[in-house]
Amino acid sequence: MSTVFTFRIDGKDVAGSEGQTVMEVAEENGIDIPALCHLEGIHDRGACRLCMVEIAGSPKLAAACMTRITEGMDVTAHSELLLEYRRTVTEMMFVERNHVCAVCVANNHCELQDTAEELGLTHFDLPRISPKVDIDASHRLFAIDHNRCILCLRCVRVCDEIEGAHTWDIMYRGLETRVQTDMGIPWGESTTCTSCGKCVQVCPTGALFEKGRAVARGSKTRRPFLPWMKVVAEERGL
Amino acid sequence: MSKPRVATVWLDGCSGCHMSLIDMDERILDIFERADLVYSPLVDYKDYPEDVDVCLVEGAVSSEEDLHKIKMVRERTKTLVSFGDCAVTSNVPGMRNPIGVAPLLDRAYRENVTLNPQMPSEIVPKLLPTSTPVHRVVKVDVFLPGCPPSADLIYTMLDDLLAGRVPDVAGSRFGR
Amino acid sequence: MSEMPAAARPVRRRVITEEINDEAPRAWAYVCEAASCMSGQAHDITLRLAGRAAEAGLTDVMIKRVGCLGLCAAGPLVEIAETGQLFGHVKPDDVEGIVTALQKVTPTDTRQPQGPFFEKQLRVATENMGRIDPENLDDYIERGGYEALKRVLSEMTSTAVRDEITRSGLRGRGGAGFPTGLKWTTVAKAQGTQKYVICNADEGDPGAFMDRSVLESDPFRILEGMAIAAFAVHATEGYIYCRAEYPLAVARLRTAIRLAQRAGYLGAGIADTSFNFDVQVRLGAGAFVCGEETALIASVEGRRGTPRPRPPYPAVQGLWDCPTLINNVETIASVPTILRNGPEWYAGIGLGKSKGTKVFALAGRIVNTGLVEVPMGMTLREIVYDIGGGIVDGRPFKAVQTGGPSGGCIPAEFLDIPVSYESLIELGSFMGSGGLIVMDDTSCMVDVAKYFQDFCRDESCGKCVPCRVGTTQLYMLLDLITRGEATMDDLAQLERLAVIIQKTALCGLGQGAPNPIFSTLRYFRDEYLAHIVDRVCPAGVCTITPAEVMA
C-alpha cells in the first residue's frame, strides 16, 4: 500500500500516491503544464525544461515531470515568470535548427507549434542559429529530418523501453547533438530497426515522419498504445 | 479629421499573406471605409508616401532592395506590422541561410541552367548574406505570425488598430 | 600483515657506483617529476644528475623523483632537501651546478627560508607534495602515510570517523562546499547493502590543475583517504574517475593501486582487519560535464555522460542506484591528515564556516605560476602578491577569476577580502575547484566572459534546451558586443537570457554558465558600455571595425 499525499498545485488542493510526479498529478487534475520531452508511457528525463514549476520553500525551479510529490508541498505551475521562461525556452527550440512550419509535414499536428501558440509566442527575439543539418531518408517507410528535431528523445526511449529494439540513440554533444540509428549508420541500413513506427508516432514535431505524406498531412494518431504497452511490460516484469 | 492611412508592403514572400488579406471578403470594405489604402501591391501607387499610420509588411528581408525599402517604410510609418511567417521568422526565404549565398546562386543560375548559365549582375537586387525577419532590421510594433495568418485574424487586428486598441493576436500561430 | 621490508626492494635511485653503500645518505636532490616539469625533460634531468653525481664520486648522495614542487613557473625544478636550495629552469645539460651544490652539503646544514611563495603556505592536502616519490609506498609510509587508516580500522567505529570529519569542519573542495561530514553520514545512513565511494578527479576548469598535481605527487593519499571514507560509509568498492588527459596521474594512480594492493592496504582484509575495500580507475573521455556528479556516475556505469535532475541525490541513489559517496580529490586528500592531526587542529585553521586550507592553482598574468595551499581566510592580495609574486612585468592588477566557467571575476577593490566559500559567493564568484586566473590591464573583461561562454557552449552535453541553445545565444551576443556591433537592446537581452538560463538549466554547468557574465557586468559594466556605445575596446583586445557612416 502506498501512502497518499495531499498538496496544492496553483492553489488547488490535489491528492496523489507516493511515487507519483507533480506532472502526473497535474494531468489527473486537468492542470496543463507544458512539456515536450514528457510523454505518458515512457520514462521521463527532465530535459526540455518547459515543465519547470516553483515549489514554495525551494530556491530552485523543479521539473514537474521529475519531481516526486510530497505531503503538503505548494506548487506553482503557472505564473508570469514561468510563462516568460517557458516562452524563451520554446523560442530556443525554434531558433536552434531550421524549423519552417510552412513546409513541414507536421504543420498543424505539431506539439512545438501548439506549445508556441499556447504560450503566446508570436516571434523570436533570439537570432536563428541556422546550422546545416542532414536528412536521412534511407529507410523504406520513414524518414528523419534533423532540422525539425528538438532532441526530446522520445524516439530513443520508446524504441528502447517499449519496442525493445534500441535502434535509436544519441551522438555528439551540445549543438552538434543528433539522434542516430545503430551507431550512426543510415536508418535504412539498421539491422535492429523493426520498422514498427513507434518513433514516428511519438515524435512531437515533423522530424520523424512517414514517407509519402505531403505538407501538413502527417498524423500522430496512434499514440494511445503507449501507456497500455507500459502496463503490459510492467506486468510481465520486463 | 482625415482617415488613418494604411499601407501594405511585399518583400521576400509568396504574396500568400496578401491573398489572405483579400480573403476578408466583404469585410475589406468595412476596413477601408475607415481607412485609406495609400500604398500596396494591390493598388497602383508607385511611391511609399510619408505619414503612414499602419503598414503590414509581408515577407522576409532578403535583398539589398528589401533592406532599403523596409528602412524607408519604418521611417515613414507609425505602426509597423510584421505580417505573416516570412516577415516574423524569415520562414521559407530563410531556408537558404544554412546554404550560403554563393552556392545558392550557383545552383540556381549555373548548375541547373542549360542555356547561357551566368550570374545575374544587373537589375536583380543583390542578396543579403542571410534572409532575416523584419524585426532583426527595424523595430516592429505588432507581430502577426501564420502562413498565412487567417483572414479573421487579419481583420481583428486591423479592426483593433483602427479603433486605437492594442491588437489582439491570440490564436495566431506559426504555420497554420 | 605482510609489509615487505623496505630493504627487500630497490626504492630510490641511489647514485650508481660499483660500491654498495648502506649508510644514510648525506644529501638528497629532489627532482620534480610532475607533468609540468616532465614537459621540460625532468626525467632526463634525473638521469643526467644521477650520472654526473656518479662520475663525481658522490656515493653518499641520493637523487629522488618527487611530485610537484609547486613553483611551476620556474620548472623544471630541482631541490636540495638539506638546504632547501632550489634550482629553477634546469636543463638536462646544466646539472653541473647541482652536483657542485650537492658536494657542499654538510650534516650541519639546515633548510634555509625559500621565500614567501613557500613560507606563507600551509600544506595539508599537499603535505607530501614534492617530498615523496609518488611511486614509492615506503616513502609515503615514512611520512606518516597509512597511520590514519590503521588507527581508524583498529581503534575507531565508523560513527567516530564521521564524527571527526564533521567536527573538523571539512567541506567539499570540488566547489560547492557541501559539509563533508554530513555527506558521509547521509551515505552511511542511506538504505542499501552495497555502497560505493567515488573520487572525482575529472578536473576540467580552465586554468585548474590542483587535482592533477595531487594525483601525480601523492597518489597513495587518495587511496588512503578513500579507504577511510569507505570504512566510514560502509562501502566496499571505490572508483577514481580521472580524465584521460592526465596520463601521468593515471599511470601513477595505477602503480599506487598495485603497490597498495600488494602491501595489503587495498583489497580483502586491509591492515589485518576484516575491512575490505578495492579501487578501480575509470577514465573520462574529456567531457567537462562529467565532473557533475550524476553525469560522472552515468559515465562510470558506461552510459552517455549526461546529468540528470536531482533529487534523488547520489548519496541516496547513485552508482547503479546504490548509495554513493562522491568526493573531490582535494577533499579526500585532506582526510588522512585531518584524522592524523585531529579534527580540532583542522577546525582551528581557517575563517568562519570555511575551515582548513585550500589548494589553488595560480595561473594567468602572475609571476609565480604554480600550485599553492593556503589557510582559508588569507586575502587575495597575499595570494596574488606575496605568494604569487605579483603581476608579470609589474603591470596593474585588474581582476582574478575563480571558480572556473561557473565562477566570476573579482576586481582590485576586493583584493583585501579574506578568501572563503561565503566571501567569494558574496562577491558574485565561487570557490570552485581552486583555479585562480590573474588578469592585468591587457585583458578585456567582455572578451574574458566570451571566452568562458565559448567554453560552456562547447562543453554543453546537449541534454537540456537552455544550456544547449542558450549558451550559444549568450556567446553570439557577447561576440556581437566584442565586434562593436551590439546595441543596448542586445545588452538587455544578454542579461535577461542569462537569468533564464541560470534558472532553468538542468545541471550546474548550465546554471553556472552565465556567472562570468553576471560578475563582469557587475564590476566591469563600463567596459561593456565602451564596446556598445563608444565602440572601443578599452583593453585593446577586441577588433572593432570603425563605425560606418550612417546612411
Give the CATH number of the domain where residue A219 resides.
3.30.70.20
Residue A169 has which C-alpha cell?
540513440
Least CB–CB distance from C309: residue in A46, A95, A151: A46
Interface of A with C in 79-108 (CB under 8 A): 84-85, 88-89, 92-93, 95-96
Report yes or no on B50 lying in a domain: yes
Same domain, A66 and A152: no
Report yes or no on C539 lying in a domain: no
Instruction: Summarize pLDDT for C321-347 with one digit per residue, the tens.
Output: 999 999 999 999 999 999 999 999 999
Same domain, A55 and A172: no
Report yes or no on C127 lying in a domain: no
Same domain, A223 and A131: yes
**Chain C residues touching A170 at Cβ < 8 A:** 304, 462
Report yes or no on C368 lying in a domain: yes
CB B6 within 8 A of CB B37: yes
Report yes or no on A151 lying in a domain: yes
Same domain, A212 and A123: yes
Same domain, A120 and A217: yes
CATH number, domain containing residue C363: 3.10.20.600
**Chain C residues touching A45 at Cβ < 8 A:** 308, 463
CATH number, domain containing residue B51: 3.40.50.700
Same domain, A119 and A191: yes
**A89, C465: Cβ pair inside 8 Å?**
yes
**A92, C457: Cβ pair inside 8 Å?**
no
Q: How many domains does chain C have?
A: 4
Distance CA A4, CA C7 (A): 68
CB A182 within 8 A of CB A192: yes
Report yes or no on A65 lying in a domain: yes
Concatenated DSSP letters of C311-375: SSPTTTS-GGGS-EEEEEHHHHHHHHHHHHH-HHHHHTSEETTEESEEEEEEEESBSS-EEEEEE
With a cut of 70, say whether residue C493 has pLDDT above it.
yes
Report yes or no on A94 lying in a domain: no
Select from C408, C440, C472 the last residue of a domain: C440
**A216, B176: Cβ pair inside 8 Å?**
yes
With a cut of 50, say whether residue C8 has pLDDT above it.
no
Residue C379 has which C-alpha cell?
586575502
Report yes or no on C238 lying in a domain: yes
From residue B130, give the alpha-carbon distance in Å to each of A145, A202, B96, C221, C479.
22, 33, 8, 58, 18
Closest alpha carbon within chain A to B135: A125
Which subunits sit against B, judged by 3+ Cβ pairs under 8 A?
A: A
CB C333 within 8 A of CB C214: yes
- Residues of chain B whose pLDDT is less than 70? 1
Q: How many domains does chain A have?
A: 2
Report yes or no on B175 lying in a domain: no
Instruction: Summarize pLDDT for A70-103 with one digit per residue, the tens.
Output: 999 999 999 999 999 999 999 999 999 999 999 9
**Chain A residues touching C473 at Cβ < 8 A:** 92, 95, 126-127
Lowest mean pLDDT among A200-204, C51-55, C95-99, C111-115: C111-115
In Å, how far is C463's CA from the nearest CA of chain A? 6
Same domain, C150 and C19: no
Select from C318, C346, C374 the last residue of a domain: C346
Same domain, C336 and C205: yes
With a cut of 70, say whether residue A226 has pLDDT above it.
no
Same domain, C51 and C177: no
CB pairs under 8 A between A and C: 95
**The predicted structure's pLDDT at residue C549:** 43
CB pairs under 8 A between A and B: 74
CB A107 within 8 A of CB A60: no
Same domain, C392 and C523: no
**Backbone torsion region of residue C321, taken as left when φ is above 0, otherwise alpha when ψ lies between -120 and 50, otherwise beta:** left
Which of C465, C471, C479, C489 to probe the A interface (max A CBs under 10 A)?
C465
CATH number, domain containing residue C75: 3.40.30.10
Instruction: Summarize pLDDT for C127-158 with one digit per residue, the tens.
Output: 999 999 999 999 999 999 999 999 999 999 99
How would residue C22 be classed by pLDDT, with cut points 50, 70 and 90?
Answer: low
**Chain A residues touching B133 at Cβ < 8 A:** 123-124
Instruction: Summarize pLDDT for A134-154 with one digit per residue, the tens.
Output: 999 999 999 999 999 999 999
Distance CA B70, CA B90 (A): 14
**The predicted structure's pLDDT at residue C334:** 96
**C457, A66: Cβ pair inside 8 Å?**
no
Same domain, C214 and C323: yes
Same domain, C525 and C404: no
Instruction: Summarize pLDDT for A168-181 with one digit per residue, the tens.
Output: 999 999 999 999 99
Same domain, C259 and C325: yes
Report yes or no on C125 lying in a domain: no
Instruction: Summarize pLDDT for A16-73 with one digit per residue, the tens.
Output: 999 999 999 999 999 999 999 999 889 999 999 999 999 999 999 999 999 999 999 9
Distance CA A98, CA A94 (A): 7
Select from A78, A113, A139 the last residue of a domain: A78
Bridge partners (DSSP) listed for residue C27:
C61
DSSP secondary structure letter of residue C144: T
**B144, A122: Cβ pair inside 8 Å?**
yes
How would residue C23 be classed by pLDDT, with cut points 50, 70 and 90?
Answer: confident
Task: State mean pLDDT over C407-420.
Answer: 94
Same domain, A111 and A220: yes
CATH number, domain containing residue C512: 1.20.1440.230
With a cut of 90, say whether residue A1 has pLDDT above it.
no
**Chain B residues touching A113 at Cβ < 8 A:** 173-175
Same domain, C325 and C407: no
CB C95 within 8 A of CB C394: no
Instruction: Summarize pLDDT for B108-122 with one digit per residue, the tens.
Output: 999 988 888 888 888
With a cut of 90, say whether residue C20 has pLDDT above it.
no
**The predicted structure's pLDDT at residue B44:** 87
How would residue C105 be classed by pLDDT, with cut points 50, 70 and 90?
Answer: confident
Q: What angle do CA C431, A63, A109 make, to 5 degrees?
A: 135
Which subunits sit against A, judged by 3+ Cβ pairs under 8 A?
A: B, C
Q: What is the ipTM of this complex?
A: 0.93
**The predicted structure's pLDDT at residue C54:** 86
Report yes or no on C247 lying in a domain: yes
Same domain, C155 and C228: yes
**B172, A110: Cβ pair inside 8 Å?**
no
- The answer, for A104 touching chain B at a CB cutoff of 8 Å, is yes
Same domain, A106 and A55: no
Report yes or no on B134 lying in a domain: yes
Same domain, C253 and C310: yes
Same domain, C240 and C388: no
C417 residue type, one letter: I
**The predicted structure's pLDDT at residue C3:** 41
Same domain, A20 and A114: no
With a cut of 60, say whether residue C393 has pLDDT above it.
yes
Same domain, A46 and A130: no
With a cut of 50, say whether residue C2 has pLDDT above it.
no
**A175, C500: Cβ pair inside 8 Å?**
no
Task: State mean pLDDT over C221-249.
Answer: 96
**The predicted structure's pLDDT at residue A233:** 62
Report yes or no on B38 lying in a domain: yes
Report yes or no on A226 lying in a domain: yes
**The predicted structure's pLDDT at residue A229:** 65
Task: State mean pLDDT over C85-105.
Answer: 89
**The predicted structure's pLDDT at residue C11:** 39
Select from A46, A78, A110 the last residue of a domain: A78
Report yes or no on C190 lying in a domain: yes
Task: State mean pLDDT over C411-426.
Answer: 93
How would residue C263 be classed by pLDDT, with cut points 50, 70 and 90?
Answer: very high
Select from C440, C475, C500 the last residue of a domain: C440
Q: How are beta strands A74-76 and A4-9 bridged, if at all?
A: parallel
What's the domain range around C103?
6-114
Report yes or no on C246 lying in a domain: yes
- Helix, strand, coil in percent for chain B, rounding step 5: 35, 20, 45
Same domain, A198 and A163: yes
What's the domain range around B146?
5-96+128-162
What's the domain range around A65?
4-78
Distance CA A21, CA A64 (A): 7
DSSP secondary structure letter of residue C255: H
**The predicted structure's pLDDT at residue B171:** 86
**A174, C500: Cβ pair inside 8 Å?**
no
Report yes or no on B64 lying in a domain: yes
**The predicted structure's pLDDT at residue A40:** 86
Q: How are beta strands A178-181 and C324-328 bridged, if at all?
A: unpaired
Contacts of C487 (CB under 8 A, 6+ apart): C532
Residue A146 has a CB neighbour count (10 Å cut-off) of: 18
Same domain, A16 and A61: yes
Q: How many domains does chain B have?
A: 1
Report yes or no on B61 lying in a domain: yes
Q: How high does pLDDT run on average in chain C? A: 91
**The predicted structure's pLDDT at residue A2:** 76
Which of A87, A98, A100, A133 to probe the B interface (max B CBs under 10 A)?
A100
